[in-house]
A and B are shown apart, each in its own frame.
Chain A
């Protein structure tokens, strides 16, 4: 099975988010970047499928040279090769179009994205990419088992889940459940060494236009100071929730 895993280069989940002085972009100073956590579930499932079924796992990202360490980490975890589309990722529609060109060039059986990236939280790319390719999409995907050119996939829905039957090729939007947290792989020394020599192809972008653009960013207003309430006086809490917060 030939699998393409889409990787986003995002601030670490513990990062404090700050914006540039002109409020136009993320201030990347001092921010540690990682593989988008949802993409890690997808990468791990891809490697598991590769161990069962053979084939290749290719990691792809859309970004300038600064994202290469994140793509190298995907190689260190076990992807066989990597593709970087040399363009700033501006918008999910642009990214989906650039990824679709990579997908078509590689004749993949399966593309796995994260269900969303934890930076811009769009959640748009998996279904947009599938629609451009005319393939089925399962997002958020919390289970996937291929057999003979078809697959059974589990999709999370509000208040439960559903089991889908579909023909490959397909696009998945990965979420925890596709693999468990405990199955995630950490690069070992051998992986890190071999990642240095694995192929990373840099391709020129198609020049797809973004559908939207970020104008400015602000931080949410902070909470006012917490009111501490005596654990023996819970009626006061109930009263405050009713009269002050007006939520009950």
Chain B
């Protein structure tokens, strides 16, 4: 009924399709489907994550309109901003030690963060999926070697790798693209193995299915079988890894900036760089240079993580809390993934409460320790 992907510990049920075939494409889209089927806290977490992510995307897209000043602007008209000015009407969040407007730099900082996510994820999904597909489909010694390589790279500290790549790309003094690409390339070295492992595990399972055999019998070539039949059935867990990798991407770029290997202040806003400059401010009690860029990182990462975690927990039958209903109580069929019931049994919050007799009768008494 369900399968365990050993490498990730993720559990994917697959005896029944997640949503019946006749539902519209929109309702079957990864995140949309989960919002519709989740309940309670899990749903709130997912929705908060989506909202935070949308806000981040909005800020990144409209930074020039939202930011009061440019990221490298030191004066307005003929008046210099001045360094370390506390928050005021002109500078809502004050100015930095370098004399930049904190609010503006925080808003502009969303752009490189967004770019690094796109670059890293596109690079690693493309390579990881293709290699995983081919490796899993053909097997053999190439497959085994690739698995060993993936295992080796899996545990590599991505930040340390990012430092090495930053040196190579820019000699340490980064333009916006230099900093972004350094983070993106090193991240993809660590992230490709993740996509590889997940896709490969799925491909190994799918290629034994009857429809692949049938395709082979009617004379389809390996490329066609992989592209049309195997790939489409092997991408289910990708949205989940993708969202978790987005947070890793933002954190690595910020870490790189914090170590002084990020983007130069005249090239773009960079949260990590701003935080590294605020280190000495904090000692003298100046909070406004550190807190805004830091909060920006936290909220961005939080948004992606909440979405990712929710997708993960909703995909894990051990953790899923479902809407309970009379139907669910009567027939186990509705308890399969995607089985959405409409009414609730009075006094029963979820199907899980119906599962163990002690839960049903003691009303969780034993757990109140």
Partners in one complex: no
